[in-house]
A and B are shown apart, each in its own frame.
Chain A
Amino acid sequence: MPPNKTIVNFKDAVADIPDGASIMIGGFGGAGGQPTRLMLALRDLGVSDLTIIGNVAGISATTHYGWREGPRDPKPVDQGMFFASGQARKIICSFPVPGTTNPLSEIEKAWREGKAEVEIVPQGTLIEQIRAAGAGIPAFYTPTGVGTPVAKGKENREFEGRAYLLEHALPGDYAFVRAQKADTHGNLQYVGTSRAFGPAMAKAAKITIVEVDEIVEPGGIDAERVGTLGAYVDRIVQREPGDPYP
Chain B
Amino acid sequence: MTADPAPRLSRTDIARRTALDLPDGGIVNLGIGIPALCSDLLPEGVELRYHAENGILGFTEMDTKFDGDPNIMDAGGNFPKLVPGMAFFDSVESFDLIRGGYIDVTVLGGLQISGEGDLANWMIPKRGIGSIGGAMDLAANAKRVIVAMEHTTRDNKPKIVNQCSFPLTASNCVDEIVTDIAVIKITAEGLFLMEAASGWSPEDVQAITEPELIISEGFGPIRTG
A interface residues (Cβ-Cβ under 8 A, vs B): 28-33, 55-56, 60, 63-70, 94-99, 101, 108, 111, 118, 120-125, 127-128, 131, 142-150, 190-200, 227, 246
Q: Which B residues touch A196, using CB under 8 A?
A: 54-55, 90-91
Known: A123-B53, A123-B95, A190-B88; 13 extra A-B contacts, CB below 8 A, are: A28-B54, A32-B70, A56-B131, A63-B77, A99-B32, A122-B136, A131-B92, A144-B170, A192-B72, A195-B88, A195-B90, A199-B92, A227-B90
Q: Report the Cα distance A28→B73, complex, angstroms.
A: 10
In the assembled complex, how far is the CB of residue B121 from the closest CB belonging to chain A, in whole angstroms? 11
Task: List the A residue with the shortest CB-CB distance to B97.
Answer: A124
B79 located at the interface, meaning its Cβ lies under 8 Å from any Cβ of chain A in the complex: yes
Task: Tell me whether B70 and A122 are in contact (CB under 8 A).
Answer: no
Asked, given contacts A66-B70, A66-B77, A191-B71, whether A143 binds B129 with beta carbons under 8 Å apart, the answer is no
Q: Which B residues touch A63, using CB under 8 A?
A: 77
Q: Which B residues touch A191, using CB under 8 A?
A: 71
Q: Which B residues touch A28, using CB under 8 A?
A: 53-55, 73, 75, 91
Q: Count the A-B residue pairs with Cβ separation under 8 angstroms: how many?
A: 158
Task: Tell me whether A70 and B99 are in contact (CB under 8 A).
Answer: no
Q: Determine which of A70, A99, A127, A199 lies in contact with B67 in the assembled complex, contact meaning CB atoms within 8 Å.
A: A70
Task: List the A residue with the shortest CB-CB distance to B75.
Answer: A28
Q: Determine which of B90, B129, B170 lies in contact with A118 in the assembled complex, contact meaning CB atoms within 8 Å.
A: B129
Q: Which A residues touch B179, using CB under 8 A?
A: none
Task: List the B residue with the shortest CB-CB distance to A33.
Answer: B71
Task: Tell me whether B127 and A101 are in contact (CB under 8 A).
Answer: yes
B interface residues (Cβ-Cβ under 8 A, vs A): 32, 52-56, 66-75, 77, 79, 88-92, 94-95, 98-99, 118, 127, 129-137, 140-141, 167-172
Q: Which 5 A-B pairs have the closest CB atoms?
A: A124-B137, A124-B95, A192-B71, A147-B171, A122-B136
Q: Determine which of A66, A150, A200 lies in contact with B92 in the assembled complex, contact meaning CB atoms within 8 Å.
A: A200
In the assembled complex, how far is the CB of residue A219 from the closest CB belonging to chain B, in whole angstroms? 24
**Residue of B68, B127, B130, B137 with highest tally of chain A CB at under 10 A:** B137
Task: Tell me whether A30 and B99 are in contact (CB under 8 A).
Answer: no
